Structure 1
Amino acid sequence: MSRLRSLGLFVLIAALFGGAFPAIKAGLEYVPPLLFATLRYLLSAVLLLGYAAATTDDWTPETASDRRAVLAGGVFFIGGTGLLFVGQQSTTSGVAAIIYSSIPILTPIAAWFLLPEERLSRRGLLGVLVGFVGVVIVVQPDPASLFGGALGGQLLVLAAAASVTLGTVLVRRTHPSMSIVAMTGWAMLLGSAIQYGFSLVLGESLADVALPVPALLILGYLSVFASGIGFVVYFTLLEQFGPLEINLVSYLMPVVAVVTGWLLLEESIAATTLVGFLVVVAGFVLLKERELIAELAKFRGATR
């Protein structure tokens, strides 16, 4: 795969994933949050499993490690994103995307406990600390309204990011042998069932779902493009380059989300939020300094 094509795919998934945040925000006007998440991932599961069945023979979870990967991905990676849909009811898409950009900071913390071979250096610990300072600047917690209003929504988004992080590390720990696209499809199927169960518990009703043309377009974008095509491209690049370069997508998503939210939803973003985002990025640079320098050296060598 050429560098130019890879760069194009990199920009594509950043646009697809970043555009998901304002799409979720807009779709919440028509569908209750957990039902919305259920519909998105159910349709995505059908798309991904159909793709996997057509392109590979190992698309069903045959081994114990495959089943553990589906369980971890379904419960934490997909199921936990229902919190994102709930949280975005009371926060902007740009802020939600910036909070989500803390996932590369959260990942080494989860890996430290669950993947014994991975340990943080002192510089890595400093990077994690700086990254969390950035998240605090974005969220600006007020103890007087800890679980209410915008702060409550932001904390739910952060909880969703932590759940996705845990799911990612657990899936990596299982070393599944099945197709990664198929594994994601099965995880989406399980995750959508979990989200629907919580939707029923919270009293959401299908009678509250309105699917006019705008809502169908939003659902189609999230299911087909942001999840379906986006995940296929994501895993293609992951196999080609590894997790470090893919993690950088997390820092392009907020840019797309902020610009799209401003253009389409008339959302504004505070200067302190942008400062917090830059601090999160600085934390990631500290955390992955050696790897980033190595990747930069490889890129320079490829362009000579």
Structure 2
Amino acid sequence: MTKTEDMLLFGALAFVWGTAFTAIEIGLETLPPLLFAAARLDIAAFIFAGVVLLSRIKWVPRTSADLALILSNGILVIGAHFAFSFIGQSYVSSGVAAIVLSFTPIITPVIAIRLLPAERIYATDVIGLCTGLVGVIAIAIAGGSFDGQLLGIGLLLASAVVFALGSVLTERWTPVLPTMSLHTWSMVTGALFLHATAYAYSGASIRDVTWTPSAAAALMYLGIFATAGGFLLYFTLLNRIGATNAGLINYASPVVATIFGATLLGEQITTATVAGFALIVAGFALCNIRPLWRVTRTMQSPAVRNRSLERNEVRVQGNVYKTKADSQNYL
């Protein structure tokens, strides 16, 4: 596989995840937010289950770590994350929703420092968090409204926090089940959580929904392409280019969402929104300056890229890592 193919995969993922916000905006015109999110997961879980069964990989959870990961991912990373984000987007534009959710990689290190004893806090982490928050505040006041706009921003921030919390918690457990099976169970758990929450919140159920062609099309696009297809693309990229590079998708998809929101939905792109997004990106760079520097150094320096490996090192996708014997001091 070549760098060009990696870029094509990255572009495809940015497209489907960015346009997902446009599809959500269209579906929210007629569908209840929580039920809409649950139905999206129903479709994706069905597709993932089919892939698991056809692949004949192990699918039955076998350990407490498997169950813990399924519950953490299903309830926090997927269920609560989608609940807050879908309701939040009902108050703001699709572009603003995508940009605020790009705050997730900034808050993740802060939570990791609190929950994972091996993590350390640096001055750049604090500065990056503050910079990102300033960006979110700039976006929150960009619409000139402190009621619906502010509520939507708050819900989207809550979505980012629960996603980050769930992601950090997954580092506590080592599963036995294959990744595809874990995510299938997580999607099923998330769908059940959202269906139960939707019913408790408003008594909504699928049989009460009045379907329109645009809502049905938006749901199918989200379930098949943005969720099932998007996660498959993301897993592929994660294995090929590593977590740091793949994490940059958080800043490519908002650009796509903003462009499509303006083109198809007539959403306005304000100077304050653009400035807020720039501050969030700067905050991300500050919080991730060390891993980003390692990636840049490895890509640009032939001496680093081509040097002989030491006994306790391994090269993966061009990046050099220490093996478990010295895992805390990787390059």
Q: Compute the TM-score of the two structures, normalised by the length of structure 2.
A: 0.86
Which residues of 2 match residues 176-195 of structure 1 at below 5 A?
A: 176-195=175-194
Whether the 8 Å CA contact 2:74–2:185 is kept in 1: the answer is: yes
* Deviation for aligned residue 1:300: 2.8
Larger Rg: 2
The whole-number CA distance in structure 1 between the counterparts of 2:118 and 2:53 is 34
CA distance in 2, matches of 1:171, 1:123: 25
**Hey, what does 1:289 align to over in structure 2?**
289
Ranges in structure 1 where 5+ consecutive residues have no aligned partner: none
- Counterparts of 2:88 and 2:290, CA distance in 1: 35
Cα displacement string for residues 233-286 of structure 1 (whole angstroms, at most 9, x for unaligned residues): 101211233221111000011100000111111111221111011001111111
- Alpha-carbon distance in structure 1 between the residues aligned to 2:10 and 2:109: 22
1:58 Cα deviation (Å)? 2.3
Task: Give CA deviations for 1:11-54 in whole Å, capped at 9, x if unaligned.
Answer: 11111111111110110122111110110011111111211222
Q: CA deviation at 1:205?
A: 4.2
Structure-2 residue corresponding to 1:135: 136
Is 1:250 aligned with 2:222?
A: no
Aligned length: 301
Distance 2:181 2:207 in 1: 32
> Corresponding residue for 2:38?
38
- For residue 186 of structure 2, what is the amino acid of its counterpart? A
Aligned-residue offset at 1:141: 9.4
SS at the partner of 2:176?
A: coil
CA distance in 2, matches of 1:241, 1:120: 26
* 2:176 pairs with 1:158: no
Which position in structure 1 is the counterpart of 2:321?
Answer: none
Q: CA deviation at 1:207?
A: 5.0
Work out whether residues 45 and 184 of structure 2, in 8 Å CA contact, stay in contact via their aligned partners in 1: yes
Residue number in structure 1 paired with 2:327: none
Kept after mapping to 2: 8 A contact 1:9/1:233: yes
SS in 2 for 1:242: helix
Paired position in structure 1 for 2:78: 78
Distance in 2 between residues matched to 1:28 and 1:132, nearest whole Å? 27
Q: Which moved more, 1:289-298 or 1:2-11?
A: 289-298
Query: Which of 48-57 and 154-163 deviates more?
Result: 48-57
Question: Is the contact made by 1:181 and 1:235 (CA closer than 8 Å) also made in structure 2?
Answer: no
CA distance in 1, matches of 2:121, 2:21: 31
- Measure, in 1, the Cα distance between the counterparts of 2:14 and 2:6: 12
Displaced runs of 4 or more, over 4 A: 301-304
Q: Distance in 2 between matches of 1:57 and 1:174?
A: 20
* Cross-structure match for 1:277: 277
- For 1:59 and 1:207, the matched residues in 2 are separated by 31
Map Cα deviations across residues 107-143 of structure 1 (whole Å, 9 max, x no partner). 101111222111121222221221122112112399x
Aligned to 1:5: 5
CA distance in 2: counterparts of 1:237 and 1:56, whole angstroms: 23
Alpha-carbon shift at residue 171 of structure 1 (Å): 1.8
More relative contact order, 1 or 2 (CA 8 Å, 6+ apart): 1
Paired residues of 2:261 and 2:267 also in contact (CA < 8 A)? yes
**Equivalent residue number for residue 104 of structure 2:** 103
> Which moves more between the two structures, 48-57 or 181-190?
48-57
Q: In the alignment, is the contact (CA less than 8 A) between 2:142 and 2:273 conserved in 1? A: no
Report the 3-state secondary structure (helix = DSSP H, G, I; strand = E; otherwise coil) of the residue aligned with 1:61.
coil
Q: Residues 150 and 208 (structure 1 numbering): CA distance in 2 closer, same or farther, change over 3 Å?
A: farther
3-state DSSP of counterpart to 1:116: coil
Separation of aligned partners in 2, 1:89 and 1:198: 17
The percent of aligned pairs where both chains have the same amino acid is 36
Q: Secondary structure at the match of 1:202?
A: helix
**Is contact 2:21-2:98 (8 Å) kept?**
yes
Cα deviation, residue 299, structure 1: 2.4
Residue 55 of structure 1 pairs with residue 65 of structure 2: no
1:168 aligned partner, one-letter code: S
On the 8 A contact 1:37/1:82 being kept in 2, the answer is: yes
The normalised TM-score by structure 1 is 0.93
Please state how far the C-alpha of 1:195 moved relative to its aligned partner.
Answer: 0.9
